Amino acid sequence: MIQRGKPRPLSLVATAVFGAALAALLAVALFPIFPHRLNIRVGDIASRTIRAPRSVSFVSSVLTKQRQDEAANAVPPSLTFDASVRTNQLQAYNRLTAQVSQVRAQTTDAARKRDQLAALQLSSRSIDTVLALSDARWAAVIAEGQRVLGLDLGVSLDSNGARQAKDGVDAVIAPSFSADEALLTAELVRPLIVPTLVVDAQKTAQAQAAARAAVPPERISIEKNDVILDAGSRVDSVAIEKLRAVGLLSRPVDWRNVMAVLLISVIAAGAIAGFVYIMQPGGITSERHLIALALVTAAPLLVAKFYLPLVLPDEHRHFLAFILPLAAAPILIAALLEAEVAVVVAAVVGALIAFISIFLPNVSLVAAISSTDTVRLLLVYAFGPIAGIFLVHRANRLSRYLTAGLAVSAVSYVALVATWFVDADRQIGDLGWMALSTGIGGVSAGVLAAGAFVTVGVLFGVTTRLQLMELSQLNAPLLRRLQDEAPGTFHHSIIVGNLAERAADLVGADPLLTRVGCYYHDIGKVMQPGMYIENQPAGESPHDEMTPEESAAVIQQHVTNGLDLARKERLPERVQAFIPEHHGTRLVTYFYRTAAERDPNVDPARFQYPGPRPQSRETAIVMLADSTEAMVRSSSDRSPERIDQLVDEVIAERVSEGQLDESDLTLRDLRTIATSFKSTMRAVYHPRVAYPEPTPLETRRRLLRLRLGGPAPRPDVLEPGQRGKRKFER
């Protein structure tokens, strides 16, 4: 059995996967990352006045930190006595006196010694004293200096205490020292007196932390349209913080915005997937169709998200937000898949574009997006494409796409004008800009849809109207072969096509697909054209030498041969479906009945076509048209009454056989089809007037023409005898 025909209805699993994939694509397209954010740094000069696009109140981390730093800096450091200071300074004193002793011991001239001692920060008087002292007195000076330094550094000294100790060194030196010795001792000791109290870093840090914690957060409140930066002013950290708070600077993605995008993506994808699953549109029959639907739906949203922030808010009222050819997506879906799905997609895309505008106040540099702008986006991108959808549905000419684009422009313009009347800031010049933007957007949408029509159709295996139009040309390769090798079948297919196309149009089926299906439904007969009566010379039939079973097997082969040929020639799947479905699972009636006359117990399965039954309205109509044409042609009585009777019998028989059960044809459709068939067949087999016998004059003229081998002379110029005489004379 050949398992072909209409694909199974889309399963719940397939549509659920489609919905999940579409939700993911929508989430990616709507993810709240926008271009055109203000980039500014501390120290920059504002080129223009920047106002807050919205009211906001926030805790300023910059000002709070400044207040905390001030409180921490006001905390006095915690001090503690450090005994190592005394030890370190005494060691430094010993190194200093050792250097002086080395200079004293040198045998060089006095000038050089004085220079070396001056380098040790000694005054000229002390240098003289060092060079004049005996070793015993020098040792006494060293010892006295150690005593005085150790005494001063043995107590807690802060910076003030150290300064006071330096000033009081002279009073601590032993009175027995001469003035010169006391001066030398003071100069050696005084520089080494330092504070013995050092900062306790841990306690100080704790005190500063407590001071920071006591500072309350600094809150900044900004009202809408408040000036954040004046033109020409220098940018500081607080200004940048304000810009970020009102949404004018790039910042990490807010998780709340992400959640909003995820939820709205799930809702939108669920609406489209639910519609596809419940309505089971005939144009969406495979996973490839679902992939195409998902991509075409998400693409305009991604474009809109990155374009709208560049032109909104519309400060100059040029309405450039409506120049995008986003209507191309619904128009393309209507042309490739189904108009009903395209309408749903248009509504969803329009709503999501309006949803995108909710984020735009966060990227505006001066003013927020008004509610009027949001309504305009919804009206233009939700309602505008619907006009184009209706015009391209089953369009047979590319010019219809241009017409669809013009219709989109017209509807979009009317929608903008409607909002213009309620816009408090309206200007007469707005009408011209509205016409320009919607005109470019609509026409470019039609052109873009026409350009993508063929490409997307080929990529995703969608049978396009252009393909069907190409296949309907009678000089197409397969039809040319059918005409040359099986002329009777070709003529039959043409009549069936005319018969079925009209009926399909009346019941709302696809007339172009029906006609093309008729042209190719018997294409398999070119493999053995002589086996079919319409291609046989009168009185000659190879079936006379065959058994009914053999003849039935040969007749059945035109279905399998036709499918093989159709696949080889890459006919669209929807056209291939006509080959097995136009016979359904019926019997090869003539040979079955012939065999049954010989053997009443013959197995009917041997005479049955492989099927399946017609799975669409189009293939069902072709089944009825094929049988009707054959029945009327084989009838000797083709009177209008007999034609009507044969049409009714064919339809009633197919209904009783159950061949139409899976085709979605209703009883009303069958009545309409029957009426159409009767009208068409009466026109095909209309009566003609019987012509009288030729007159004697006509007979003589024909005979004369045959004798002379040329055209007959005009009878109103010469009599028959005269014409012959003149001819022979010449």
SS3 for 39-90 is: CCCCCCECCCCEECCCCEEEECHHHHHHHHHHHHHCCCCCEEECCHHHHHHH
For residue 716, pLDDT beyond 50: no
Q: Which residue has the higher pLDDT, 190 or 79?
A: 190
C-alpha angle with apex 491: 486 to 493, nearest 5 degrees? 95
For residue 3, pLDDT beyond 50: no
The span from the CA of 270 to the CA of 264, in Å, is 10
Residue partners of 83: CB distance under 8 A and separation at least 6: 196
pLDDT at 367: 41
Tokens of 681: 């067949």
Q: What is the pLDDT of residues 78-135, one digit of tens each?
A: 777 788 888 888 898 899 888 888 888 887 788 888 888 888 888 888 888 888 888 8
- How would residue 395 be classed by pLDDT, with cut points 50, 70 and 90? low
Q: What is the pLDDT of residues 23-80, one digit of tens each?
A: 999 998 888 776 555 556 777 777 667 788 778 888 888 888 888 888 888 888 877 7
Instruction: Work out the percent of the chain whose per-residue pLDDT is above 90.
Output: 18
Region of poorest pLDDT, from 291-300, 404-413, 463-472, 566-575: 463-472
For residue 610, pLDDT beyond 70: yes
Q: What is the pLDDT of residues 616-642, one digit of tens each?
A: 899 999 999 999 998 888 888 888 889
For residue 688, pLDDT beyond 50: yes
* Cβ count within 10 A of residue 580: 28
The span from the CA of 722 to the CA of 717, in Å, is 10
Does the pTM of the predicted model rise above 0.75? no
Q: Which residue has the higher pLDDT, 281 or 568?
A: 568
Domains of the chain: 12-34+255-462 (no CATH), 79-199 (no CATH), 467-684 (1.10.3210), 697-729 (no CATH)
Closest CA to 50 of 364, 345, 277, 312: 364
For residue 382, pLDDT beyond 70: yes
For residue 729, pLDDT beyond 70: no
The answer to whether the CB of 235 falls within 8 A of the CB of 45 is yes
Q: What is the pLDDT of residues 497-510, one digit of tens each?
A: 999 999 999 998 88
In terms of phi and psi (left: phi > 0; alpha: psi -120 to 50; beta: otherwise), the region of 664 is left
Q: Which residue has the higher pLDDT, 467 or 366?
A: 467
pLDDT at 543: 81
For residue 481, pLDDT beyond 50: yes
CA 101 to chain centre: 90
The span from the CA of 127 to the CA of 125, in Å, is 5
The span from the CA of 307 to the CA of 728, in Å, is 90
229 forms beta bridges with 50
Report the DSSP pairing between strands 56-59 and 227-229: unpaired
pLDDT at 396: 62
The span from the CA of 665 to the CA of 651, in Å, is 12
In order of 440, 533, 549, the CA distances from 540 in angstroms are 67, 9, 19
For residue 715, pLDDT beyond 70: no
Q: Which residue has the higher pLDDT, 361 or 47?
A: 47
487-507 and 617-634 are packed helices; what angle lies between their axes, rounded to 10 degrees?
130
The answer to whether the CB of 94 falls within 8 A of the CB of 189 is no
Q: What is the pLDDT of residues 254-283, one digit of tens each?
A: 677 788 889 999 999 999 999 988 888 877
Q: Is 223 helix (H, G, I), strand (E, B) or coil?
A: coil
For residue 187, pLDDT beyond 60: yes
> Which 8-state DSSP code applies to residue 607?
G
H-run or E-run covering 229 = strand 227-229
pLDDT at 369: 60
Q: What is the pLDDT of residues 638-649, one digit of tens each?
A: 888 899 999 999
For residue 204, pLDDT beyond 90: no
The span from the CA of 96 to the CA of 594, in Å, is 139
DSSP string, 173-200: S-TTS-HHHHHHHHHHHGGG---SEEE-
Report the DSSP pairing between strands 219-222 and 56-59: antiparallel
Q: Which residue has the higher pLDDT, 688 or 149?
A: 149
By the 10 Å C-beta count (0-12 exposed, 13-18 middle, 19+ buried), 634 is classed as exposed
The span from the CA of 228 to the CA of 381, in Å, is 35
For residue 713, pLDDT beyond 60: no
The answer to whether the CB of 75 falls within 8 A of the CB of 95 is no
When mean pLDDT is compared over 150-159, 599-608, 652-661, the highest value belongs to 652-661
The answer to whether the CB of 486 falls within 8 A of the CB of 519 is no
Across all residues in the chain, what is the average pLDDT? 83
For residue 711, pLDDT beyond 80: no
In order of 151, 158, 181, 485, the CA distances from 172 in angstroms are 9, 19, 13, 137
The answer to whether the CB of 412 falls within 8 A of the CB of 376 is no
Q: What is the pLDDT of residues 397-430, one digit of tens each?
A: 767 888 888 999 999 999 989 988 888 788 888 8
Tokens of 693: 């016998």
The answer to whether the CB of 115 falls within 8 A of the CB of 182 is no
For residue 718, pLDDT beyond 50: no
